Structure 1
């Protein structure tokens, strides 16, 4: 069995070819797609966070709304760029959203990726300390966030408060017990996967990874997952970790599917640079008739290693079409792979 969810970047554009032509459109359609996904039997609704872009940005109002409209489905991010975040304020937002959702939040966080503007986190009031890189800044914010989710008191109370305090040092409120076990680190390298394992965060690995061996993408990603699990075991954590990978996968069921994605069925991994110093490998997309798709996916070692698969969806094609994309995978592909 494998958990299967969708991952939406939440693109919107005023183009008449898009079903999501405004920020309002994409937010409301994201909620409706999560509701539809739950009805279809999917396991998760995940959203990407980008700043200074016509895409989804502040995640917690959306996560709270999805949590209020659904009952069972996991609700998460993949990922929140921690360079932009106030970790204490984020802990309050996350606690509130998780309580609204009844403990279903699965928060993916990371050090971030290249964005629409240069050093956008500086406009938010954050900058690396002396000797730090922006990646160090993101990991520092993540460590603070992860620590305060313990729910332990750390702030000295006012001796003359407006309202009575509980005894002892004060913690952030609202606190949602169990949320700390549902934090994921979005890792592009083997080293940061090990770092996340030592801290006790789950692992998210996307369709982009630092090219560390020159091998095919799914081979490198599978090795990253194995290295992560070994580091988790060595750290001696009491519970088992979770691991997700994301993929663009389309079952070609009709002429519309073939018109949109029929030309991408033979795609290959791509090599590029995410910054001048870092070469990355980008995983291929999958698009084929269900029987052929099943055979292709059986050969993907990283999907086999993960317990959770996030399907990236073309949100600009609208809720109805994306529900069809999810249903096609859940009904016609997942059973043939033993996932359902």
Structure 2
């Protein structure tokens, strides 16, 4: 373990973008306003989650295209797009388009695995190929190849009045180095490193070995080290941590009570691995910026990263997010070694 944690270099946040089914426009507008606020406060990145057939952002690429036209500096990421719902070729086109529109600020994060509730959605999603679709790392590799400019077809040239390209267009040369893999296991960490991706960690890991430590931070640290051990950039390979962090410095008494109750409801799932996948959740960090900084400086995994995308709680209101982000930018960031810039 390093004697001191790395100074925080990039401060980011993650939102799920909830909305009311009766008025979805207002929820999407709130998400865009939060991203604009993040830029004004000096955050380095804003990330959106991906939710299908739920009341959260189902099309993060479209939302980030809109955000790219309302911001000029902040990096825009997805954490994460589940590739089981996507055609890698079409997604590569969308990602490259938004990256061009944003001036090279897109940071796409992806993951693999069958779509959630696959038995219920497969007939709508893949009516003819549901039983033959591949949902593993090969899907990520295809996306990587298309984004990085490998040929998608053997045909290119002029046909009549039309010109065709062998590679995905538009091609955004820097995008291939800004692709992230969202993983919570040693295998995913290793694969991401071997394929030169960046690595997104979150508040969930797999406690894969029943005999291993049940300490969340130690398990996450092992993933970070596995990733960097197999990445061409070694210890310089980019890793971002995405814990749920709720500073309360400027919160009202009512907000503090709500935040404490939220964290208390979720605490039992952090004590032991959950379900057949043995998922282990990190406790939410609630308190003053000084208290949260102290806990993070003692966190074994945090000590080895210098980028964060702190996750905003799912169910809070717009005014809560404004307060949390303001405290993060003005108080928590500096306490973690990143000067306030807002």
Same-fold status (TM-score > 0.5): yes
Q: Name the counterpart of 2:43.
A: 42
1:33–1:323 Cα contact (<8 Å) kept: yes
Aligned counterpart for 1:174 among listed residues 150, 170, 173: 170
Q: Is the 8 A contact 1:50 1:56 kept in 2?
A: yes
- Aligned-residue CA RMSD (Å): 2.5
Task: Give the aligned partner of residue 191 of structure 1.
Answer: 187
Write the distance in 2 (CA, Å) between the matches of 1:30 and 1:315: 12
Any idea what SS the aligned residue of 1:271 has? coil
What is the deviation of 1:74?
0.7
Kept after mapping to 1: 8 A contact 2:246/2:312: no
- Evaluate the alpha carbon distance shift between residue 289 and residue 263 of structure 1 in structure 2; reply closer, same or farther with a 3 A threshold: farther
- How many pairs are equivalent? 322
Residue 239 to residue 249, structure 1, CA distance change in 2 (3 Å): closer
Q: Does the C-alpha gap of structure 1 residues 259 and 56 become closer, same or farther in structure 2, counting only changes over 3 Å?
A: same
Distance in 2, matches of 1:32 and 1:150, equals: 32
Match for residue 123 of structure 1? 124
Q: Deviations over 1:273-302 (max 9, x none)?
A: 35x3x2110111011123322222211122
Shift of 1:256: 3.2
Contact in 2 for aligned 1:50/1:115 (Cα 8 Å): no
For residues 77-226 of structure 1, what are the structure 2 equivalents within 5 Å? Answer: 77-112=78-113, 115=116, 118=119, 120=121, 123-125=124-126, 127=130, 129=132, 137-157=135-155, 161-165=159-163, 170-212=166-208, 213-226=212-225
Distance 1:333 1:26, change over 3 A: same
**Bigger shift: residues 75-84 or 156-165:** 156-165
C-alpha distance in structure 1 between counterparts of 2:192 and 2:314, whole Å? 30
8 Å contact 1:84–1:121 — kept in the other structure? Answer: no
In structure 2, the CA distance between the partners of 1:265 and 1:37, relative to structure 1 (3 Å rule), is same
- Name which of structure 1's ranges 287-296 and 111-120 shifts more when overlaid on structure 2: 111-120
Distance 1:152 1:163, change over 3 A: farther
- Residues 239, 227 of structure 1: alpha-carbon distance in 2 compared, 3 angstrom cutoff: closer
5+ long unaligned stretches in structure 1: 15-20
Contact 1:83-1:121 within 8 A present in 2 as well: no
CA contact (8 A) 2:113 2:135 kept: no
8 A contact 2:100–2:172 mirrored in 1: yes
Instruction: State whether structure 2 residue 250 is matched by structure 1 residue 251.
Output: no
Q: Take 1:314 and 1:81, find their aligned partners in 2: how far apart are those partners?
A: 20
> 2: CA distance between counterparts of 1:190 and 1:239?
16
Q: 1:288 to 1:154 in 2, by over 3 A?
A: closer
Partners of 2:313 and 2:29 lie apart in 1 by: 15
Structure-2 change in CA distance of 1:158 and 1:309 (3 Å): closer
Provide, for residues 184-230 of structure 1, a one-character-per-residue CA deviation record: whole Å limited to 9, x for no partner: 00111011110111011110111111113233111110111011101
Separation in 2 of the partners of 1:113 and 1:322? 32
Of residues 4, 10, 17, the one that matches 1:3 is 10
SS class of match (2:119): coil
1:17 corresponds to: none
Structure 1 counterpart of 2:4: none
SS at match of 1:107: strand
Q: Distance in 2 between matches of 1:177 and 1:121?
A: 34
What's the TM-score, normalizing by structure 2?
Answer: 0.86
Tell me, yes or no, if structure 1 residue 311 matches structure 2 residue 310.
yes
Range moving further from structure 2, 297-306 or 261-270: 261-270
CA deviations on 1:12-49 (whole Å, 9 max, x unpaired) are: 346xxxxxx63222211111100000000111110111
